[in-house]
Amino acid sequence: MTTPAPPTATTLRELKASGWTSRSIREELRANLEDRIANGLPLTSAVLGYEDTVLPQLETAILAGHDIILLGERGQAKTRMIRSLVELLDEWLPIVAGSDVRDNPYAPISAFALDLLEELGDDTPIAWVNRAQRFAEKLASPDTSMADLIGEVDPIKVAGGLFLDDPKALSYGLVPKSNRGIFAMNELPDLAERIQVGLLNVLEERDVQIRGHLVRMDLDVLVVATANPEDYTNRGRLITPLKDRFGSQIRTHYPYDVATEVAIMHQEAKLPTSPKPIIVPWFIDDIVARISHVARSSHAINQSSGVSVRLSIANYETVIANALRRTLRTGDDAVVPRVSDLSAVVQSTQGKIEFDTMDESDSDHVIAALVGLAVRQAFMEHVLLEEAGDIVEAFSHEVLVHTGDDLPAKDYLEVLANLPVLEPPVRRVAGPNAGPSEMAAATEFILEGLYLTKRLAKDSSGARALYRSRNR
């Protein structure tokens, strides 16, 4: 979408003539949010699953004019929500041209702007800042310095002839440069305590203190921070007075249901380009999302670090990529992921979860168990297999079925031809208009479901499997 051109006022005189009125960042956000709510628009459409929980609390905090801290494990869209607040800012904001701290032409706070207005009066030049430039973000770390956030004496300016105690010798940090905008601090408890004290002064007094300089700047900034609940509440890594300064504390969460996780996967996944259509069966969507859900309740996973939604997205991309790799070799009609492709999620899962008190060498087995549990839940919840007894009976007559992520779809059609009792349920799962690749995927899903519900036996090696009767 094209950004509208800025207003035409270029001097303070023209700005006054245009009728522009000044308002604080909190008044601006509040008024624009009131308009959105009155027009039936959501705070943001970029985050799914928070419509009835987190977003109403965030709206209330903005209407209250609070600084905000979002508490949640990794991968809960905290940063995305903060960035979406930019949408509530006015499209363009006038500042004193050349100001490092986006001085309000009607109420300047820096020595630079004060001197310029005193010298030029209504001829003071005006510049316009787009709302995208009014957002600053910093990832906290133990080596974050006071100069990074607040500011420092600039040795270059001093070398140029300015005295150490001259306010113009200062180089401002991210917080003063965020004046009349939004400043976001990710992982707030990772800041050293002395830096937290500096941030405390900004939140309490709305001013900055740089070394021995007596600098009083009436900053107009909304501070939004994020933190992991464990760091925020248990380890004592955040000084109590700083916690007290945030007006609203909002707890985020992972998607409550599989359907929401699937919607996020579809929204965020970046799929590979393919010469053939990519068709993802509904049960693969469900299983990939469900892997994250079962991981979030597994005792083998460290729950304090969380199981990010990014796990679902990465697994989804990996499963489709593995299906594409097979299709390029077999020449099948479409790229359709199967249950056997789920073996590839080990590589996309390893780095996104932390195993609790166990040898990392066992991680492959834990991931395989999570995948198996997800497949079993999806099968039992969605598949009513009236023919299960007949299928099991057919396998008792020396029937063996080979599957694998390297087999072409035609091999599965031969299985259905030789095992006609399996064809009706496969067709129901795949859909009435399913092609050969979709039928192959549905065949694997039903066979794996029968194995996981202990009605068939399976001999497996990696992504290859042989299904047989349990009585052999």
Domains of the chain: 12-251 (3.40.50.300), 258-468 (no CATH)
Rounded to whole angstroms, the Cα distance separating 279 from 434 reads 10
As a whole number of angstroms, the distance between CA 134 and CA 86 comes to 8
Window from 34-43, 155-164, 225-234, 350-359 with minimum mean pLDDT: 155-164
Mean per-residue pLDDT for 80-103?
95
Mean of pLDDT values over 1-18: 88
- Would you say residue 234 has pLDDT above 60? no
106-121: average pLDDT: 92
Q: What is the mean pLDDT of residues 30-45?
A: 94
pLDDT of residue 424 exceeding 80: yes
pLDDT of residue 324: 96
Say what the pTM is. Answer: 0.87
Give the pLDDT score at 52: 93
Three-state SS string over the chain comes to CCCCCCCCCCEHHHHHHCCCCCCCHHHHHHHHHHHHHHCCCCCCCCCCCCCCCHHHHHHHHHHHCCCEEEECCCCCCHHHHHHHHHHHCCCEEEEECCCCCCCECCECCCHHHHHHHHHHHHHCEEEEEEHHHHEEEEECCCCCCHHHHCEEECHHHHHCCCCCCCHHHEEECHHHHCCCEEEEEECHHHCCHHHHHHHHHHHHHCCCCECCECCCCCCCEEEEEEECHHHHHCCCCCCHHHHHHCCEEEECCCCCCHHHHHHHHHHHCCCCCCCCCECCCHHHHHHHHHHHHHHCCCCCECCCCCCCHHHHHHHHHHHHHHHHHHHHHHCCCCECCCHHHHHHHHHHHHHHCCECCCCHHHHHHHHHHHHHHHHHHHHHHHCCCCCHHHHHHHHCCCCCEEECCCCCHHHHHHHHHHCHHHHHHHHHHHCCCCCHHHHHHHHHHHHHHHHHCCCCEEEEECCEEEEECCCC
Q: Given this model, what pLDDT does residue 313 score?
A: 97
Q: Tell me the mean pLDDT in the region 116-136.
A: 96
- Give the mean pLDDT of 70-90: 93
pLDDT confidence band for 2 (50 / 70 / 90): low
Q: What is the pLDDT of residue 452?
A: 95
Lowest mean pLDDT among 24-28, 107-111, 234-238, 282-286: 234-238
Say what the pLDDT of residue 214 is.
58
Residue of higher predicted confidence among 235 and 362: 362
Lowest average pLDDT, out of 222-236, 364-378, 412-426, 444-458, goes to 222-236
Q: How confident is the model at residue 235 (pLDDT cuts 50, 70, 90)?
A: low
With bands split at pLDDT 50, 70 and 90, how would you rate the model's confidence at 145? confident
Kindly report, residue by residue over 355-413, the tens digit of the pLDDT. Answer: 875 566 678 889 999 999 999 999 999 998 989 999 999 998 878 999 998 999 999 99
Average pLDDT over residues 439-452: 96
Q: What is the mean pLDDT of the chain?
A: 90
| pLDDT digits 0-9 by tens, 176-231 | 899 999 999 999 988 888 888 878 877 776 666 666 555 667 889 999 999 988 77
Per-residue pLDDT band at 428 (split at 50, 70, 90): very high
Average pLDDT on 133-144 reads 91
**Phi first, then psi: what are they for 185, rounded to 5°?**
-120, 110
Say yes or no to pLDDT of 153 above 90: no
| Across 291-311, average pLDDT | 92
- pLDDT bin (cut points 50, 70, 90) of residue 165 is low
What's residue 243's pLDDT? 84
